[in-house]
Structure 1
Amino acid sequence: MNPAKLGATRDLLTAGLSNSAIARQLRVDKHDVALLRQELGLPNTPAQPLTVEQKWRLRVRDLPGGHLAWTGERQRTSGTPVMRHSGRCYTAARIAFRIKHGTDPQGYAAPGCGTRHCVAPEHIDDLPRRQRDRAALRLVLGSPQRPTHCRRGHDQAEDGQLLPDGTAYCARCSADRKQSPTAP
């Protein structure tokens, strides 16, 4: 390690940064940082001193209308806001739901406000809440009663779902079509 980076590494080690954080910041090998930490007799920093919720709060910013934008990592293909904590990966919406309700969501958590990838805890719904709100919309719109079974015979009390506009569909038929695109 060159003398300039050695001094900067010492300063950051005594400031309490982790080996990985120092290696990223100074573009040095983290094993060299670990050796220097050992030579200086400094203890390793805790792997993750923050709770999941505390770390989540560091990765959001306010938007107009009470929405929150995610500033952290995103899933590569879908762009879904995600966060890693203590070796596990969470969606930002799942954490937001837990912040608001104190429990994990049933099914996947998603914003009900219409703003794509909003992570405001007040805007995040789980599957039962989304279905309840969509059923209420059907009532307000005067939509016909949902069928008890789909055209393929699936019980809609178990497999029935509602789209955001209140339109009923069979989740099992939908999953079957995704598995076998040639199915009716």
Structure 2
Amino acid sequence: MRIRADVAELLKAGKPERHIAQDLGIDRATVRRAREALGLPAPRRGKRSRYPSLAAVLRGNSEFLDDGHVRWTGYRDSRSNTPLVLHGGQRIPAPRAAFQLHYGREPVGKSLPICGMRGCIAGEHLADRLIRDANARADALFDAIFGEST
């Protein structure tokens, strides 16, 4: 198949097939066949994310405050007001995503701030059920050894 140089150049630059066909006044099937002949991957369907990774979404939609606190400034669910990370076709609660990135594992139960700031999503300020239970056991042992703190 003979491929037009302008079509090949635009395909290699990542321009969508539909736009190439419109701009050059050619059939979309012609552009598709050219892409296939060049061995380029099929275009991804749907909206492309502005962010390349989950970490980038969190950074791009967060406000970093004093004392290491982080406030979510991105999308929130309209009914529950839950801060949501929209990435890769998924809707992940922002505290859950921040916990995953910080600890390298899925949280067990809810990921909640333990720093005292409501809504903080700093990874080191979040705890899941395992961490909260471990903290409660440590507090109980401390109180048993040293007496209740005031």
Band of TM-score, shorter chain: 0.5 to 0.7
Residues of 1 paired with 2:20 and 2:137: CA distance?
59
**Relative contact order higher in (CA < 8 Å, ≥ 6 apart):** 2
Q: How far has the Cα of 1:36 moved from its partner?
A: 5.1
Alignment root-mean-square deviation, CA: 3.1
Q: How far has the Cα of 1:53 moved from its partner?
A: 1.6
Residues of 1 paired with 2:21 and 2:138: CA distance?
62
Q: Which residue of 2 aligns with 1:85?
A: 87
Cα contact 1:80–1:117 (8 A) shared by 2: no
What aligned pairs does 1:47-86 form with structure 2 within 5 A after superposition? 47-48=48-49, 50-86=52-88
Cα contact 2:85–2:97 (8 A) shared by 1: no
How many residues were matched structurally? 112
SS in 2 for 1:69: strand
SS in 1 for 2:48: coil
Q: 1:66-94 CA deviation, whole Å, 9 max, x = no partner?
A: 10010101123332211111211101111
Q: Which residue of 1 aligns with 2:39?
A: none
TM-score when normalising by structure 2: 0.61
What aligned pairs does 1:10-159 form with structure 2 within 5 A after superposition? 38-40=21-23, 47-48=48-49, 50-142=52-144
Cα contact 2:55–2:101 (8 A) shared by 1: yes
Cα contact 1:111–1:125 (8 A) shared by 2: yes
Q: Structure 1: which 5+ runs fail to align?
A: 1-15, 20-33, 143-184
Cα contact 2:114–2:125 (8 A) shared by 1: yes
TM-score when normalising by structure 1: 0.51
Q: Percent identity?
A: 29
